[in-house]
């Protein structure tokens, strides 16, 4: 694709904003229009029907109900991988979740509660004809269609998230933001597209859009430098600012970018970034149970229809944690590495890609009193074969750690 974005300085934006803003060109507007007017299924649990939802419709329904409740919506934006896809089609990220941001005034608990109720009530508008809506309660709708709900209220952040389920990984995520200190992790996921002008065009125009007839749509990089961030996206480079502000989930996102073919813009800076991210991960998820839940949730939400990439992702995460963790005691570090190894082994087993179990080598930490130079620090499990699939390529498996007193636990069965 040709150079797809021009600096907004030449498009009536102020000099102060020109670095972070840009006007979308016609190709980008077409991709945005296809996303907003396309139908996304919201899959119900149990026997609840699938809802066919167009993003433009759910934005209008939710926004109008917020205004009815006198919750002022300043603007609506598209965020995340969908915004990156609009700006650069071949980004290597594709797009999964549809992240819609409602910039609104949420001053107290009452507003948060009203937002939750009106979103659930809005789902009734999308139920198929013939469904008896009178007996469906908000709690029932929540259990049937909502994958997760999050609310954050502190001195710097006031926002909530309602994620509507999609079995193919394209959840519709409605985020209601009063204030949010850190709006991105890396430059390539820092893009936001302001939707108000396009939504107004849908409502008012009697003619379809064309190359010479479409609204002016502004994109923004909250990284602070739109041309640079777009260049990182095109070249698949990983770069960020103020890495100490990135929360624990940034480590998982970073490893995901590596697996998708992104690389560090600066090796020296990325070594420091990896240490920051590992330290923050263990601060936010201090015990192995929390780490397991976070990892399993990330794999479930970000690798739908990409099951074959899970092992590569876990292997990458293992290497980063092994190389860059400096804040843990030895046994805590081994616990985390063991957790990642066991999840990787489970992924292989689920796809019948594991080695014959009779030949699985299990490692363990020798007791301190074992000082015999002839003592072997491993054994080969003698068990009946559980899997009969042929071994995969050797590079698919973790290599045993060299010159170390320990290696990660790998279950024999």
Q: Which pLDDT does position 356 carry in this prediction?
A: 53
Q: How far is CA 37 from the centre of its chain?
A: 23
DSSP state of 213: B
CA distance 95 to 305: 13
| CB burial string 90-112: b at 16+ within 10 A, e below | ebebebbbbbbbbbbebeeeebb
- pLDDT the model gives residue 257: 94
* pLDDT in the model for residue 8: 33
Q: Which two tokens stand for residue 377?
A: 């620090």
Structure tokens that stand for 360 in this block: 């699985």
Token couple for 118? 């009106």
The dihedral over CA atoms of 17, 19, 23, 28, expressed in degrees to the nearest 10, equals -140
Residue-level pLDDT at 402? 40
Q: How far does CA 11 lie from the centroid of its chain?
A: 32
User: Do the bridges between strand 98-104 and strand 172-179 make them parallel or antiparallel, or are there none, so unpaired?
Assistant: parallel
pLDDT tens per residue, the chain (413 residues)? 333 333 333 333 445 467 999 999 999 999 999 999 999 999 999 999 999 999 999 999 999 999 999 999 999 999 999 999 999 987 666 688 899 999 999 989 999 999 999 999 999 999 998 888 888 999 999 999 999 999 999 988 999 999 999 988 889 999 999 999 999 999 999 999 999 999 999 999 999 999 999 999 999 999 999 999 999 999 999 999 988 889 889 999 999 999 999 998 888 888 888 999 999 999 999 999 999 999 999 998 888 878 889 999 999 999 999 998 877 777 888 899 999 999 999 998 887 665 555 555 555 555 554 445 554 444 444 444 444 343 344 444 444 444 333 344 444 43
- Tell me if the pTM is above 0.85: no
Contact between 213 and 249 under an 8 Å Cβ cutoff? The reply is no
The pLDDT value recorded for residue 155 is: 87
The string of DSSP letters for 284-301 reads HS-SHHHHHHHHHHHHHH
Q: Is 32 exposed, middle or buried (0-12, 13-18, 19+ CB in 10 A)?
A: buried
Check residue 76 and give its pLDDT: 98
């Amino acid at each position: 694709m040709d150079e797809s974005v021009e600096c907004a300085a030449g498009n009536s934006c102020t000099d102060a904003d020109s670095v972070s803003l840009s006007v979308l060109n016609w190709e980008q507007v077409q991709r945005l229009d296809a996303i907003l007017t396309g139908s996304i299924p919201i899959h119900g649990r149990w026997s609840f029907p699938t809802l066919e939802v167009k993003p433009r419709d759910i934005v209008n329904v939710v926004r109008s109900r917020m205004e009815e409740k006198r919750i002022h919506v300043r603007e609506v934006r598209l965020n995340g991988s969908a915004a990156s896809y609009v700006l650069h089609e071949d980004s290597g990220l594709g797009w999964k979740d549809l992240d819609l941001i409602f910039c609104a005034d949420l001053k107290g608990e009452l507003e948060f509660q009203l937002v939750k109720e009106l979103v659930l009530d809005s789902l009734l508008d999308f139920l198929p004809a013939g469904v008896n809506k009178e007996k469906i309660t908000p709690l029932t709708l929540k259990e049937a269609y909502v994958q997760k709900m999050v609310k954050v209220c502190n001195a710097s952040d006031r926002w909530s998230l309602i994620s509507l389920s999609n079995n193919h990984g394209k959840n519709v995520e409605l985020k209601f933001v009063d204030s949010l200190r850190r709006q991105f992790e890396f430059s390539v996921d820092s893009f936001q597209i302001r939707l108000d002008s396009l939504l107004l065009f849908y409502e008012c125009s009697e003619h379809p859009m064309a190359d010479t007839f479409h609204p002016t749509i502004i994109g923004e990089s909250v990284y602070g430098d739109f041309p640079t961030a777009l260049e990182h996206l095109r070249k698949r480079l990983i770069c960020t600012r103020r890495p100490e502000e990135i929360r624990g989930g940034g480590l998982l996102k970073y490893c995901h970018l590596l697996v998708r073919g992104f690389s560090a813009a600066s090796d020296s800076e990325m070594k420091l970034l990896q240490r920051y991210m590992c330290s923050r991960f263990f601060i936010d998820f201090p015990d192995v149970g929390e780490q397991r839940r976070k990892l399993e949730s990330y794999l479930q939400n970000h690798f739908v229809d990409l099951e074959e990439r899970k092992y590569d992702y876990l292997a990458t995460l293992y290497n980063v944690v092994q190389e860059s963790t400096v804040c843990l005691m030895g046994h805590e570090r081994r616990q985390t590495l063991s957790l990642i190894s066991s999840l990787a082994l489970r992924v292989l087993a689920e796809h019948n890609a594991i080695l014959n179990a009779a030949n699985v080598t299990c490692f363990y930490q020798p007791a301190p009193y074992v000082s015999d130079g002839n003592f072997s620090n491993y054994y080969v499990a003698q068990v009946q074969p559980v899997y009969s699939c042929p071994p995969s390529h050797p590079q698919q498996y973790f290599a045993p750690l060299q010159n170390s007193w320990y290696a990660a636990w790998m279950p024999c069965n």
